[in-house]
Structure 1
């Protein structure tokens, strides 16, 4: 699958063909814009090529029209992915370098997106009731908290690499305790154990001293 910015050579093979064969290409971008790149042949009309740059993510349509011998119309849909990114917009608690050092191995190519998702998970499921010093961007300022958050999101990405990335919690979670707060999900006495959060996430947060990080509950901390 090509990415945004890729420069490719579109190609069409015609059969039968002879000196009367000619081929043109109309390219429809995802926004409906149509362009007609210059086509050419180096083998007398059997193979036709045209240079093409994918400038946007989405589905592109390549429409070849052949006239003369071998007259025909051929359409091809090409799905183009966004350009890979080493950084993602949003509050992210670890870089791909941090992840590589944590894993002691090369990170996956989608590591930037996974680190963003893991950071969002940490914010939404663990830090809503947390108290710690932050800067104007909402990032932690204490070195111990920075290191714990970095470990937590790297651990979550590692966990997804072992168990598969899920879009939702596949089962209730039970028994996550951070300070005076005990997080439990689901009901009944036969709740399954954690199967979505990396165990090391809660462990990293529990390791923080109370003077730099604490969970706030109703009526006190």
Structure 2
């Protein structure tokens, strides 16, 4: 499944085949139509304008989503012909709510994740995003004009790490998004801390400024530790 944040552009890709699992083939009269799965009129097309053709049987469409496009799932459906026979392809695209300035996740994201909206949710998300940024100081990845990763996988990792950071803060009783827990130890350049109160087995763990679950999300995406960089960069 493909996802895109409101107001951003995602390139949709279709690979057209003569028959299922057959060779890629060029088609004629290719169009794309994007429709809300929940129902309603198409938000794109059917249109052939903007469709690219980078290789045999492979087509792309850069969908610049409007800022006000309702969040939710959309069906991107491709239709063309090959030797007079119809050829189709489709995929589901999830449009995510646009985060507030300075945050990697939106209030809507947080409500979906927690099942409720905490007080000062937007502020918590901005502060959690700053914590996430501290863990990215040695990560190397391409960014767009807004300073966000061009990789959908990295963008999703930052979003999920931010949500986990807010959840960790709230779970520890930190409703402001500020401060650290006391105690812990240092491992190389990482500071590992335990929350006060409760047994050691049940106490949540912090790695640097991040709660363990938020750190795990970034680690699994390859965004922690020392990545390749210019000498003296980190």
* Structure 1 length-normalised TM: 0.46
Higher strand share: 2
Q: Which has the larger radius of gyration?
A: 1
* Structure 2 length-normalised TM: 0.43
